[in-house]
Structure 1
Amino acid sequence: MCSVKEQEAINRLMAFLQEWDNGNKTTRSNILNDFIILNQGKTGPELEQEFSQGGSLFLARLTTWLRLSFMFGTCLNELLQAISIFLSAASGSPYLLEFVEVGGILTLLEILGLKEQKEENMREALNLLQILASSGRKFKELICESYGVRGIAETLAMTRSEEVREQAQQLLECLAQGNPKYQNQVYKGLIAVLPCASPKAQQLALQTLQIVQSAVKSSPSSIVEALLGVLQTMHLEVQYEALQLIKALMHHNIRSALLTGLVKLLKPSLKDTEKSRPKILDDPSMSLLLPSLPVFMQQAAAAKAVSMLSQESPDLCEELIRLQVVHHLLYAIGNQEHADSQRQASLALVYLVQTSPIVEEHVRTAIGETLFQLLMTNPETLYMTMDLIQAEILISNKVNIPESLHGKPLVREAAERNI
């Protein structure tokens, strides 16, 4: 037999649930707002006490209405906030399981995928997914099995909200950690974000890839094209993150492919430059914008990457030299389409000259003593001081170092270089 107090509590609960069941949109909205105000931060046992051990009955009603109405946006934000009180409650693991069992994860992902979704609703949906992902590996796997990585990555790439982007990035990072079964799926999802039009999304994806990289044993070849493509950016913060990731990837299986790709970018083909040229630049009045063409930004970033990697280790330096990087750097210095490309290539080449006697010998022979001294004296301003004949000498150089090694050491010892 129930005590009088217990019976009164049960009666209150039944009256509350009946009010919800019979209520219209306005009534339910008021119930939700009161619930959110009165129960924020409560634990699972406290919520059960509030609902006379019937908290799950109210949660079931919330999730049912969510599934039925999320496409219409009816009280959607309030619904998501109310559900988050249950899911985030300490000692509330039964609520998590109940929510997942009724298809809660799929509903949240569908909310993210709706066109013209309100920012506030996306924030709350991501918050609920974050609560689930932070609750253990089992929930991370369920999100990934529900094609969650794709949905969250698309949100990161396409949303206009800074806050939503950061939430999506943090959620992807969480899904990649402590989730060995699906960490490669998250890694590939982040790679898929790189070609997007949002510089901020590119920056966040690159930062997360660097974090996830340490846990990934081998990188898919698709990252090479995507990462080299990011170097076309005109946003220095994105370029910086891309260069840092390139540096980290030098310890992985795609090292050779990345180095080969970087070297090729130093000498873009005519087809590449035409393909990347915006139509607006065909107007003669727009000729001053030519240095900002993406392909030449990419060329400058590649030269910067070559310089950075050459200084990273003798092995990388030697591999770059064997890939004919000297020939390509000389071409980039002489190609007067983009001043920063010339400057970055000059700095990279000077380091290689100081590092390798083979490079010094071949560069001096290829460009002549006068131009060689100009290069070594002030590489940052060489592009401003050389004439058209000197530029043509650089562009048409025939340096081919690997065929002329004759067993000589390729790179000086650090003490000998003294640079």
Structure 2
Amino acid sequence: PYTYYLKYRKQRPDLINPYELYWTVISYLIHNVYHSDAKTLEVMIDRAINGLKRCKERVGTEQYNEIMEIFASGNPEFNRLIQLMVRKADDVDFFDKLLRDQINTQLKNDRMEKEKFQTTIRTVRDQINDLLKIPRPAGIPPMKESLIEAANYSLTGDGKRIRPILTWVLGVEVYGLQSAAIEPLLRSLEFMHTASLIFDDLPSQDNAPTRRGRPTLHQVHNSATAELTGLYLIQKAIQEQASLQAFNPVTVLALMQYSAEKAEDMCMGQAMDLHSKGKAMTLEQLNMMCFYKTGLAFEASLVMPAILAGVQSAEIEALKKFAYHAGIAFQIKDDLLDLEGDHHLLGKNTRMDVENNNSTFVSVLGPEAARIEMWDHYCHAVEALNAVPRKISFLNHLLDYIINRNR
């Protein structure tokens, strides 16, 4: 930002002076965050002054003074005080190098975690895709065969599989469950999610022509077949949950009860969405509808493996809070992509919310305020994650993916 400002400040009067912003942030941190704590003040000022000293040594006194004259022109008295401190300050290179090493280590670890996140997404997604196709046993009635064919059409589209991937990561990598043991749960989650998309796309609801890069099921067949296929997948999901034979039956029963409650709530969310068409909604109403439609699916993906692992209730509550904010951030990003996204990348038509007169975060707040709201939920999700008693770096990177994705 410093070199960019030096080069383009005359052509770009809208640019913020990064030097002034730097000291504004330092001032805010000292007085408003750390409440003028003397030791904290000393550390922060030492760090700032040492950075200027090193700049002066690197470029020479003459060029340094020219640079400072540009950056500090708005407040010469303050600059005189800072330069006096630069001339008289003790050497604090040790702290500066220590801080630099810590930042470098953190950046390296973050890069490694991000690479692992991307690898996990790819490999687990491939594993889940291999699990989803429903077999067609020989000798079944032709009508059931056509129903299975319709279900597989919807299941084998280019889905992101975020929900079962989340369940796999929490179950296998965090809670130590056997991958093979939770395969029925992974299928169950994707069956339920795909069923919800089939119903969502129907002419009586969103009337979507494409999904996952292909024509929607009711376009390929008809609405009646789509409805029956959705119901079929829901029953298959229940059957899969009942097949979790590696776990205590009481635990499986608790999981199935939780799953049924969440499915019930998601139906209510879709009903709220349909009821809201053409009506102005408050932000509170929108948050509630979004949580029931989207956030609950994230919650279930996290809570269901936690139930199987016998996790304490406090940790489950923290995961629920994370899911609430991550789910809403995900929905806001979806709303923004519907307005601004590339339909080739999305695999579905854009501007469908406008066409269907849907109440969205974009229609209620406008694009810029919706973005701010998305980042607000992002920050709340990070705070909730910090309350989880074990480090789950995958969820941190999931948040970054939610915010930065293009599909």
Greater CA radius of gyration, 1 or 2?
Answer: 1
Normalising by structure 2, report the TM-score: 0.21
Normalising by structure 1, report the TM-score: 0.20
Structure of greater relative contact order (alpha carbons < 8 Å, 6+ residues apart):
2
